[in-house]
A and B are shown apart, each in its own frame.
Chain A
Amino acid sequence: MSQATIPWIEPVPEKRVAMRRKALLVLFGGGLTALIVGCVMLGVFRALPDQVGTIVFILAGVLPILGGLGLIPLGLLNGSVVLTTLGFAQIGIGALVGGLLKATPIDPLVVGVLLLVIGPIAAGLAMLTAAGVIVAFKQVVQLLLMRWTALILFCGGIVSIILLVWAHAFVFRYVAQLANDTTLNTSATTTFGGDLTIAELSTRFSGNWRPVAFVLWPLQFGLIRDLIAMGGVIGFISIIPLYTIWWERKVAGRIQSRLGPMRVGGWHGWAQSFADGMKLICKEDFVPPEGDGTLFRLAPYLAFVPAICAFIALPFATTYVFRDLDVALLFILAMLGIEVLGVIIAGWASNNKWSVYGAMREACQMVSYEIPMGMALLVPVMTAGALRLTDIAKLQQDGFGSWLAWNNPFCLIAFFCYYTASLASCKRAPFDLPESESELVAGFHTEYSGFRWSLFFFAEYAAMFAVSGLAVILFLGAWYGPLPLSWAPAGNDIASAVVRGLLFDGPILFILKCGLLLYVQIWIRWTLPRIRIDQVLYACIQVLLPLTMLVVLGSTFWLLFDNSAHPAFESFAKVVRGLLSLVGVVISIAIAGFIIFGFVNRRRLVGTLAIEHFPGS
């Protein structure tokens, strides 16, 4: 089986053993002491509930200051900057907590429990697990390389993410409902404007469930909830590129009758992207000498941050959206527009003739393809009459027929125009001019290596997902399944919720559809050759732009007549809608049949001779 190698292991064996021993010492020692402190504090709080205020004040306020006063001379003596800064930091914390306790009517129990009980216990557990991993390093690696780990990790990962998302939504709703529940709401308001103190919260939980109140208390602030949700969104966004890169290499392999990555991390090389990530991080950090250093370092972030910001406004389901902006669509387009700057600056700052060529071509292509993309998006927006993505999605609730792509013929054409324009604006498939190896060595990111280079890749794959997400929401019935929502079981017990989530309406359907569109992008990339720069601009200015304008004009007239004022046209429109959805059904059945046919006789198609070798060779 494959050897799991970690690139940065210290080569000299003796040093490695010493380092390992020191790390174990620190982790175990720190973990145990923190655990003991936490338990002692818990015992003290239960033993003398009334002096809690003074104890907390002494421990959280005075003790750090004394510690700091002790550390500073020590640090100054043997000149270690870390110790001195640590000392000043401790003094600062001590003063802050002391001041807070003194000046504001903060409930000392809250600070005490948070700072002195939950904090140390959590830190202790973390350190102990870290020590455990280091001790059982070999076993952990064996575990990772077992045959079924990948499957368990994969399915376990998905199930846990779903549960986590569902649980966090449930808890947030519960706390919000508690926050404006008048019975609990007494006059005392805590300093940060939260109108629920621990005391009120704890009345809700009996006896030994009281610590839950402490955990729930910070959740009542909108800011904290947003931070947690943002953490989830960024987590998901960082998974997409990793997963899509691995998936692209597997699909490319299959198209080219080879296997793709098989070795890293066991089953089908699922850890290939992680390994690449680690390799890239360890790469040398090269900045071209004459180029503009600061701009060179800034460019990847100029490309990466907008791609991430686009996900703020991108809804995954009616409730799973970070900020349901009224101008969500415009905001996402704006973010994709700003990415161009990152590319231009990258090309300019690397001071190399080829990358300036690539940057210029890239800028022309992305800027010019934004116009047809915007125009093509106008059509579904007009039919739905709103820019808010969740409203547009609501229109496509009742089943396959109601999807906007089959709403009117212009919408269908707009879908294909949008999809081609979005390919060009993410520098994908036949339009990937900048990286056309044949003429320019690697376009604008020739000089980039290591982590900066992978940032550009992250931006590209995140933009790919955002763009196909938009296509799904606007044309292919967002997060609603092909069956109309009215058939869905309405109850809110677990069973019907799961059925509704899987079949009718839920983030999983949205991600599956986005996956399908991503697959099409990958499929196109590995079959079609590349277009020349003048053909790209010709296609945009003289073909796609007039086509999208005509489609917008056509759909305005269509909407003008397709209302009750013109019954004849309305019935005709219904017939057309039926026909188009029929076309849609035929297409999807054809694709499904094609896939099944391909899978069933996958050996015959490739030809048996390709497998066994001729004797003697």
Chain B
Amino acid sequence: MNVNTWLEPIVFFLFAGVVLFSAIGIVLTRNIVRAALFLLGTLGGVAGLYFLLMANLLAAIQLIVYAGGTLVLIVFGVMLTSKSPWVRFAPSRSEAAAATTIGLVLFAALAKIVTGIDWTVAAHPADQPATVRQVGNLLLQQYLVPFEVASVLLLVVMIGAAYLARPEN
């Protein structure tokens, strides 16, 4: 039982706590700029979990693309479209209650399913992080077609977004 057997649970619960706290923060907060910041907390927490799950490359990609790119995009969107920073979009009482009950019911159902099935877990989970070379080879051999399609899709999205957002003067 070497040192990181007792260290891993602590770190896992730490990151899970960060993720859940920021997710609940997003739900509760009214100010949209704060919601965007809580999203940063979730993305960071999930990236930490990827490191724990031996997926280093994915964690780095998540940080660059998601936290560095998409989140900046969302914050830009927030700033350009909200006239005053204190935009209050308070949902009415009844809607909130209904939504939370549905959420809890859904969570209970999922939890039951997850704990019910005994996943045939591999003998010993992988303890070496997937190296960049492995991911690279796989990406360009088995997954070559989706790789090319994804690049085409990105091109289309870029042109579409530019066209949609241009001012009409």
Contact = CB atoms under 8 A, between A and B. Distances in A.
Interface of A: 192-194, 221-223, 292, 294-295, 298, 302, 325-327, 330-331, 333-335, 337-338, 340-341, 344-345, 348, 351, 356, 360, 363, 367, 370, 386-387
Interface string B74-91: 011001000001000000
B95 to A, nearest CB: 26
B71 A193 contact: no
Interface size class of B (residues with CB under 8 A): 20 to 34
Given A221-B3, A341-B71, A348-B79, A331 B63 contact: yes
Contacts of A327: 56-57, 59-60, 132
B52 interface: no
Given A326-B56, A330-B60, A360-B79, A295 B132 contact: no
A379 B6 CA distance: 42
Contacts of A194: 3
A193 B85 contact: no
Interface string B36-64: 01001000000000000000110111011
B103 interface: no
Dominant secondary structure of chain B at its interface with chain A = helix
18 contacts: A221-B3, A223-B3, A292-B33, A292-B85, A295-B37, A325-B60, A327-B59, A327-B132, A333-B68, A334-B63, A334-B64, A337-B63, A337-B64, A337-B69, A341-B40, A341-B75, A348-B33, A348-B79
B40 A295 contact: no
Contacts, number: 87
A234 B124 CA distance: 36
B63 A345 contact: no
A333 B68 CA distance: 9
B101 to A, nearest CB: 31
Nearest to B63: A334
Given A193-B5, A222-B3, A292-B85, A330 B37 contact: no
A330 B85 contact: no
Given A193-B1, A193-B6, A223-B7, A334 B75 contact: no
Given A327-B56, A344-B79, A337 B68 contact: yes
Interface in B1-19: 1-7
Contact of B132 (A326, A334, A337, A340): A326
A326 B57 contact: yes
A559 to B, nearest CB: 15
Nearest to B130: A326
Given A223-B7, A292-B85, A294-B34, 15 more contacts: A222-B4, A326-B56, A326-B131, A330-B64, A334-B63, A334-B68, A335-B63, A337-B72, A341-B71, A344-B72, A344-B75, A348-B79, A360-B79, A363-B76, A370-B68
A228 to B, nearest CB: 15
Nearest to B58: A327
B129 interface: yes
Nearest to A194: B3
B27 to A, nearest CB: 18
B110 to A, nearest CB: 31
A351 B67 CA distance: 24
Contact of B72 (A192, A335, A363, A387): A363
A348 B67 contact: no
B68 A340 contact: yes
A327 B54 CA distance: 12
Nearest to B76: A363
The 4 tightest CB contacts between A and B, nearest first, are A337-B68, A334-B63, A330-B60, A327-B60
Nearest to A371: B69
Contacts of B5: 193
A330 B50 CA distance: 15
Given A222-B3, A341-B75, A387 B37 contact: no
Nearest to B73: A367
A351 B85 CA distance: 9
Interface string B103-144: 000000000000000000000000001011000000000000
A387 B130 CA distance: 13
B67 A334 contact: yes
Nearest to A309: B63
A401 B129 CA distance: 34
B76 to A, nearest CB: 7
A196 B169 CA distance: 76
A348 B57 contact: no
Given A223-B3, A334-B63, A337-B63, A326 B85 contact: no
B37 A298 contact: yes
Contact of A330 (B3, B57, B69): B57
B129 A295 contact: no
A193 B76 CA distance: 49
A351 B63 CA distance: 28
Interface string B17-39: 00000000000000101100100
A356 B37 CA distance: 17
Contacts of A295: 33-34, 37
B3 A193 contact: yes
Nearest to A366: B72
A292 B3 contact: no
Given A325-B56, A326-B129, A292 B63 contact: no
A370 B67 CA distance: 14
Nearest to B80: A360
Nearest to B40: A341
A233 B1 CA distance: 29
A221 B2 CA distance: 9
Contact of A341 (B60, B72, B129): B72
Contact of B64 (A192, A333, A348): A333
A294 B6 CA distance: 35
Given A193-B3, A326-B57, A338 B34 contact: no
B11 to A, nearest CB: 11
Contacts of B1: 193
A85 B75 CA distance: 43
A194 B85 CA distance: 54
Contacts of A331: 60, 63
A192 B67 contact: no
B48 to A, nearest CB: 12
Contacts of B33: 292, 295, 345, 348
Contacts of B7: 223
B61 A330 contact: yes
Contacts of B68: 333-334, 337-338, 340, 370
A291 B22 CA distance: 22
B21 to A, nearest CB: 15
